[in-house]
Homo-oligomer: A and B are copies of this chain.
Amino acid sequence: MTDILLVEDHEELNELIRIFLEKGGYSVKGVYAGEEAVEFLKKERAKLVILDVSLPGMDGFAVCASVRESSNIPIVFLSARVDKEDKMNGFLQGADDYVEKPVDMELLLVKINALMRRNYSLKQENAVIHSGAVSIDKEAKRVFLNGREITLTVKAYELLVLLAENPGKTLNKQYLFQRIWGADSFSEDQTLTVHIKMLRDKIEEEPKKPKRIQTVWGIGYRYEEI
């Protein structure tokens, strides 16, 4: 699924915006005419539409109206015409925001971030960690092994997140300890190893021969993407 559908007939500007938004972390489909946009949305889906008001043929408002017949996707208008009437027109027809030309790229990106956040609650790009057979939904605080949910205790969960966020990297015990129990904790070293064991029991096929959570002797542990 494409993140953003960009409808702008000016080729150079189309390209420019696309590249900028892609740098911002979005996948962008650039099209050059209203008809193209409508066609695209019939076949594929997008999370947001950027729509130039003045397009050859079907203009921005017409595209907006057409899209709105079947979808509630956020729409941002782009226009050189700064007069109020146009703005009103856009909003009334179901637009969500309006950016004036010449386009301030950063402002555009920021507005898109706001809309995305609100509508898809893309709070964190890394809200879901995929790592081999293990995936962690940080939002819901749930862990899946080969698609099947496994329940972890809070400590085991925190431990797994720390490890899985740094695959291939050895995390030493003091660090893990500090991150989970806090700097001024009086607990024993053993506590950590016990939690490691419990975690292994749940996420390793053969807990006695761990593949995902490797121990690095004298240092700490390392998570491998398997």
Residue positions of A touching B, CB distance < 8 A: 72, 74, 84, 87-88, 91-92, 94-97, 104, 106-107, 110-111, 113-114, 117-119, 122, 139-142, 153-154, 168-170, 216-219, 222
Contact = CB atoms under 8 A, between A and B. Distances in A.
A170 B87 contact: no
A36 to B, nearest CB: 25
A70 to B, nearest CB: 14
A31 to B, nearest CB: 24
B88 A219 contact: no
Contact of A170 (B110, B142, B169): B142
A106 B84 contact: yes
A87 B107 contact: yes
A80 B41 CA distance: 39
Given A118-B118, A119-B118, A219 B141 contact: yes
A140 to B, nearest CB: 5
A-B pairs with lowest CB-CB distance, top 6: A91-B110, A154-B218, A140-B169, A141-B170, A91-B114, A140-B170
18 contacts: A72-B122, A84-B106, A87-B110, A88-B106, A88-B107, A91-B114, A94-B114, A95-B114, A118-B119, A139-B169, A140-B169, A140-B170, A141-B219, A142-B168, A142-B170, A153-B217, A153-B218, A154-B219
Contacts of A222: 140
Contact of A113 (B84, B91, B153): B91
Contacts of A118: 72, 74, 96, 118-119
